[in-house]
Each structure stands twice: as structure tokens, then as C-alpha cells.
Amino acid sequence: MTQHQKVLFNQLESYRHDLLAVVEGLSNQQANIIPQGFHNNVRWNLGHVYLDQFLWIEALTKERTAVPERFTQWFGFGTSPKDFTEETPSFEELKHLLKTQSSFIKHSYQARLDEVFEPIEMGMRTIEEVLVRTIFHEGMHVQAIMDLRKFITE
């Protein structure tokens, strides 16, 4: 693994740690509140971040990843907590999935980061390029969760 790839995985783990730190101390009840003016809650944001990283890898490689069945139905683009069912992963389950995702991706894809695929959106052709995009996306959702926290912890 090259030095810049080591840096990439360090960033994935570090930013994921930051995301999980933002939700630290929230109760299950708080994670499910949708404040007035918002479309989603903390729980949805966590599931969406988890799903997004795998969906981009799938879009690029055309291979199935570790996305659990029905995640797209609950956490895909355009969904909301209104789509949740009794089977939707809990706040605690989502935190656990997020804690393990970076190491899973590292183990599964570190040898393939530079493999070139047919380009997808924005000309991304490698798993490494996709992971950079997902880091940006995750940061947007960290901010969304920070905004939600202002209303659910007052």
C-alpha cells in the first residue's frame, strides 16, 4: 500500500471517529426525533452515510458489497424515517455498523484502490477516487447531525 493510500485509510477512520463522536451521548429517543424544519433524524443520517459508501463502490465496480438487504429502501437518497419499519436497524446497530465499516473497506479493497473501472459520475474510475468522494459526503452529514443536535438536546 502506498503512503497516500495509508493516508486515505487514516482519513476514513479519523472522519468516521469524528462522526461517531458527534452522536456520542445521544439517546435512542433523541436519535429518532425529526425537529420542525428537518426532513430526517440522526438515525437516518447514520444509515445513509453507511449506505452511501457502499453504493458508490457498487456503482463503480458493478459488484455487490456488504450492504444489508433493504438499506436502500430505508436510507437511500430521497427516503426518510417515514420509510422505517420494525426491521430497520436501531441507532445502536447503525453505530456498530459504522464503527466497523472503515476496517471492512480497508480489508476488502486495499489491494484494489488503483484498479481502473469504467468511469462513473464526475469521471471517477478508481475505488480510491470514490472513497475521497464519500469522505466529503460524510462531512456534509456530520454537519447535518450537528444541526439536528442543536434542536434535540435543548
Q: DSSP characters for 43-90? A: HHHHHHHHHHHHHHHHHHH-S--SPPTTHHHHHSTT--GGG--TTSPP
**Residue 120 in this model has a pLDDT that exceeds 90:** yes
Cell 486495499 -> residue = 110
pLDDT at 1: 82
Query: What is the model's pTM?
Result: 0.96
Query: Which helix (H) or strand (E) covers residue 149, if one does?
Result: helix 127-152
**Residue 48 in this model has a pLDDT that exceeds 80:** yes
100-111: average pLDDT: 96
Cell 478508481 -> residue = 126
> Confidence band (pLDDT; 50, 70, 90) for 128?
very high
**Residue 154 in this model has a pLDDT that exceeds 80:** no
Cell 437511500 -> residue = 76
The three three-digit cell numbers of residue 130, written as one number: 470514490
Q: Assess contact for 51 and 60: CB atoms under 8 A.
A: no
Percentage of residues in the chain having pLDDT higher than 70: 99
